[in-house]
Chains A and B, each alone.
Chain A
Amino acid sequence: MTPALRVSGLRVAYGSVVAVDGIDLEVREGEIYGLLGPNGAGKTSALSAIEGLLRPSAGDIVIGDVDARAHPLQAKAHLGVQLQTTSFHSSLTLVEIVRLYAGLYGVTLKSAQIRELLGQINLKKEASKRFRELSGGQQQRFSLLIATIHDPELVLLDEPTAGLDPQARRQLWDRIERFRKEGRSILLTTHSMEEAQAVCDRVAIMDHGKILTVGTPAALIAAHRDDPQVRQAAHGEVTLEDVFIALTGRELRD
């Protein structure tokens, strides 16, 4: 089976600073894959390179069966993207924004269809509002709708639940789970170990531009349970966060 995403030897540098240092990763079809790491680990840079926002200095990115570096527009057509901070034209209404992004992916939607889509995420009443007039949770739901407006095979989510209250976070997890049931693959970055354990099939822990370990949350806990550093980090039952802290250290990051 062709993986939804295959990245090999990916390297991203900003001048002399290497943000992503030759990572390999593979997201399988129908899989939710989490990329974990402290601030500055290189998660967003890796994601930006996959999204086509950054030109990597080395490595291959294959989305489905499309070489993203050779055919970037074709690769983008297969991708749904939710950026860490999303903004849309400030004076357009939600209906107009949906029409714009659907059009950019070659999807034609009538006004009634757009309102129906907005209804599915409880934003029908807000159809004539501007994006900035929505609450944080509503903005997140709307951004996710835009990211999946063209029914992509692979969805990239950069810290999708950052700043959300527990209700909004749970709702988003449900939506992510629904995406998987619809056959999509998801690559997400997160700081939340709770989120990684709750929704991800596999996670990769990344630091200093390198992937340190990959596996299911349960397998990672089992594999590192007896490491002295993990035991030291644990307060009782070993969790994914204990493994994360043991692998990436306790010092604060920017």
Chain B
Amino acid sequence: MAVPTWSSSLKVLLRADATAQLRTPFSLVLTFALPLILLVATGLGKNSAALGGPEFRISLALTVGLVSIGTVGYSLAIARDRDTGVFQRLRVTPAPTWTIMVSRWIVQLGAVLVMAIVVLVVAAFFVGVTLPAQDYLFTVLVALLGSAVFLSIGQAIVGLIASADTLNAAGRVIYVPLIGLSLFGNTDRLGTTVEMVSRWSPGGCLETLLSAAMGATSWSGQVWGALFASLGYTVVFAVIGIRWFRWVSK
């Protein structure tokens, strides 16, 4: 009996994982509803300008989407499938084990790509922010890099926490500061220490990169610093997540 090629295994896994992603209402809310609500809501009220300009609203919406998808949606889905034995069932097939996880990552990256495009389209038509063509490309590329950062954080969470229930609780605890730090990266209202921590947090770095990609700020040393910090976060958290990941929860 011949062993199927890894590419054919990956293809059928991708099809199944993408179908599952599209059928999960929770993941659709995290991917689309949350960033779009934030995009619109941050423009409401008299003091909304204090948070930042229109580019800041877009970058915040994208960052919240990426944090939600990576640290909550992805990690929870992986933990649930691990708890229920879905991965063990897949692992007894001749598909190389790495294809099982890579398929999940590709589907998440695809979801981020679609989310970024939808946010930018809504921003153009409803917020009135249009960008030069190359800035759209940069913004989408930065969103994909941000996705790698937060997926690796999600992977680290699911690598270090065995049970889906514990992970659900821990994910929420981690989610709030990640979002909070992203929110205050552009303001020193909570003091310069918070501002600095916020600026160099994963969400803060992403916002710096998104602002530069959208042309709101120039490519300075700080932007390069944010780029290298993001790559560093991705590598460190991915190593932790892969090193300590277990296919079974007990």
On A, residues with C-beta under 8 Å from B are 51-53, 73-74, 76-79, 81, 83, 85-92, 96-97, 99-101, 103-106, 150, 152-153
A156's nearest neighbour on chain B, judged by CB, is B92
Q: Do B20 and A87 touch across chains, with their CB atoms under 8 A apart?
A: no
Q: Do B9 and A104 touch across chains, with their CB atoms under 8 A apart?
A: yes
Report B1-44 CB contacts with A as 1/0, cut-off 8 Å: 11110001101110111011001100000000000000000000
Q: Do A86 and B85 touch across chains, with their CB atoms under 8 A apart?
A: yes
Interface centre among B3, B13, B94 (most CB of A within 10 A): B94
Does B124 make an interface contact (CB < 8 A)? no
| B172 partner residues in chain A, CB cutoff 8 A | none
The smallest beta-carbon distance between B107 and chain A, in angstroms, is: 12
| A88 partner residues in chain B, CB cutoff 8 A | 86, 89
17 A-B residue pairs with CB within 8 Å = A52-B91, A74-B3, A77-B3, A77-B4, A83-B89, A85-B85, A86-B85, A87-B84, A88-B89, A89-B17, A89-B20, A90-B80, A91-B24, A92-B16, A92-B20, A103-B15, A150-B1
| B92 partner residues in chain A, CB cutoff 8 A | 51-53, 76, 79, 81, 83
List the 4 shortest-distance A-B pairs measured between CB atoms, nearest first: A103-B12, A106-B4, A91-B23, A87-B84
Q: Do A100 and B1 touch across chains, with their CB atoms under 8 A apart?
A: no
Q: Do A76 and B84 touch across chains, with their CB atoms under 8 A apart?
A: no
Query: Chain B, interface size: which category?
Result: 20 to 34
Given A76-B94, A103-B12, A106-B2, verify A90-B19 contact (CB < 8 Å). Answer: no
Taking a contact as CB atoms closer than 8 A, the residue among A52, A76, A92 that contacts B19 in the complex is A92
| B12 partner residues in chain A, CB cutoff 8 A | 99-100, 103-104
| B19 partner residues in chain A, CB cutoff 8 A | 91-92, 96
| A97 partner residues in chain B, CB cutoff 8 A | 16
A79's nearest neighbour on chain B, judged by CB, is B92
- Give the dominant DSSP class at B's interface: helix
Does B95 make an interface contact (CB < 8 A)? yes
| A92 partner residues in chain B, CB cutoff 8 A | 16, 19-20, 23
Cα A5 to Cα B1 in complex, Å, equals 15
Report B230-250 CB contacts with A as 1/0, cut-off 8 Å: 000000000000000001000
Interface centre among A74, A83, A91, A153 (most CB of B within 10 A): A91
The smallest beta-carbon distance between B221 and chain A, in angstroms, is: 46
Q: Do A103 and B89 touch across chains, with their CB atoms under 8 A apart?
A: no
B23's nearest neighbour on chain A, judged by CB, is A91
Q: Do A100 and B15 touch across chains, with their CB atoms under 8 A apart?
A: yes
| A89 partner residues in chain B, CB cutoff 8 A | 16-17, 20, 81, 86
Does B93 make an interface contact (CB < 8 A)? yes
Does B216 make an interface contact (CB < 8 A)? no
Cα A85 to Cα B176 in complex, Å, equals 35
Q: Do B8 and A103 touch across chains, with their CB atoms under 8 A apart?
A: yes
The smallest beta-carbon distance between A55 and chain B, in angstroms, is: 12
Q: Do B85 and A104 touch across chains, with their CB atoms under 8 A apart?
A: no
Cα A89 to Cα B89 in complex, Å, equals 10
Interface centre among A99, A100, A153 (most CB of B within 10 A): A100
Taking a contact as CB atoms closer than 8 A, the residue among B9, B17, B86, B94 that contacts A74 in the complex is B94
